[in-house]
Amino acid sequence: MTAPLMDPFARPISYLRLSVTDRCDFRCAYCMSENMTFLPKKELLTLEELDRISSAFVRLGVEKLRITGGEPLVRRDILTYFRAMSRHLESGALKELTLTTNGSQLHRFAQDLADAGVRRVNISLDTLDAEKFARVTRWGRLDNVLRGIDAAQAAGLRVKINAVALKGFNEAELIPMTEWAGSRDMDLTWIEVMPMGEDFGTDDRLGQYWPLKDLRARLAETYTLTDLAERSGGPARYVRLEETGQKIGFITPLTHNFCESCNRVRLTCTGELYMCLGQEDRADLRAPLRASSDDDLLEEAIRAAIARKPKGHDFDYSRQTVSGQMTRHMSHTGG
């Protein structure tokens, strides 16, 4: 029971993405429906259970823990959890504690997160145009996010911007967003829209797809791009812009399968473990967690789930059809 987690393809599992809530104060068009029905609070893992389950993964070799949602910072008393996880940073068992956020609440929590040992945050931001931002997030305000970025940098957090590439929406902002990120010493990663959610197959959703090979080609018209060999433990491939020294990432689940080095699993706020973002197979960890006060059953369930981790996802794309589409919303699994 002391051996580190290893999947059937000899890939060590060292990265857990943990959703702490399905709730969000935005309703981004590519992530969830505008009129979402959220889970009853009683179905969610408590903060104490989140601590137990995270600590079990750390004991089994997870070294990177990314907190997601929904929007993780709308979870009541979530700082209690971050402060609890700092003990694993102090012991050296956990190498990194970080989060992905929409930035709306970051002005309130940035310093406390830094005090708990968070050193980096990913902020989802698809446009610098306030009107377009309100349209794509439905409920969001750009000025709140920009205030959050200011607070994060003031607290000493390293900020990376994640932007979903949306055809006909933010194409014209490719260079302005690059220049803006560079002026603030922030890395920028572009993400292809993923085939998730019940409405992905509609003409509107299919029409959003902007392949990153096209985005990269446009970027190369302005900058000299040098491919980088580095990996961040995630699916991004990086280039350096020689003129500015910036690092730009590309996450391409549809045009490039990034599964060969996958070292991560995702746990939902209800205790469902998804061994692959692009597969429906999942394992219930809440039942063994609640069945016993010790963690033997939980660790057995984790190992059994990792033994079922597939080689890769089935996402595929063409203009007419989408293969491997997931009907669950991205907010359910965690960003």
Query: Is 100 labeled as ligand-binding?
Result: yes
239: CB partners within 8 A, 6+ apart = 216, 225, 226, 227, 228, 247, 248, 250
Query: Is 213 labeled as ligand-binding?
Result: no
Query: Is 318 labeled as ligand-binding?
Result: no
Nearest to 62 by CA among 23, 20, 31, 17: 17
Query: Is 259 labeled as ligand-binding?
Result: yes
Query: Is 269 labeled as ligand-binding?
Result: no
Residue 313 pLDDT: 63
What is residue 100's three-state secondary structure?
A: strand
Averaged pLDDT of the chain: 88
What is residue 125's three-state secondary structure?
A: coil
Query: Is 319 labeled as ligand-binding?
Result: no
Residue 3 pLDDT: 82
Residue 153 pLDDT: 98
Query: Is 17 labeled as ligand-binding?
Result: yes
pLDDT band at 42 (very low <50, low <70, confident <90, very high): confident
Residue 57's alpha-carbon distances to 73, 108, 147, 216, in angstroms, are 22, 29, 34, 37
Domains contained in the chain, CATH given: 15-333 (3.20.20.70)
Query: Is 24 labeled as ligand-binding?
Result: yes
Q: Exposure string (b/e) for 42-57, b if CB count within 10 Å is 16 or more? A: eebbebeebbbbbbbb
Structure pTM?
0.88
Q: Hey, how many other C-beta atoms are within 10 angstroms of the C-beta on 144?
A: 16
Query: Is 262 labeled as ligand-binding?
Result: yes
Q: How far apart are CA 257 and CA 235, in angstroms?
A: 9
Q: Are 217 and 224 spatial neighbours (Cβ–Cβ below 8 Å)?
A: no
Tokens read off for 179: 């220049």
Q: Which of 32-36, 153-157, 230-234 has the largest mean confidence?
A: 153-157
Residue 307 pLDDT: 96
Residue 239's alpha-carbon distances to 126, 178, 190, 303, in angstroms, are 19, 13, 12, 36
Nearest to 100 by CA among 325, 328, 330: 330
Chain centroid to Cα 273, Å, comes to: 15
At which residue do the structure tokens 């018209």 appear?
Answer: 221
Query: Is 238 labeled as ligand-binding?
Result: no
Query: Is 76 labeled as ligand-binding?
Result: no
- pLDDT digits over 71-99, tens only? 999 999 999 999 999 999 999 999 999 99
Query: Is 255 labeled as ligand-binding?
Result: no
Nearest to 137 by CA among 200, 181, 71: 71
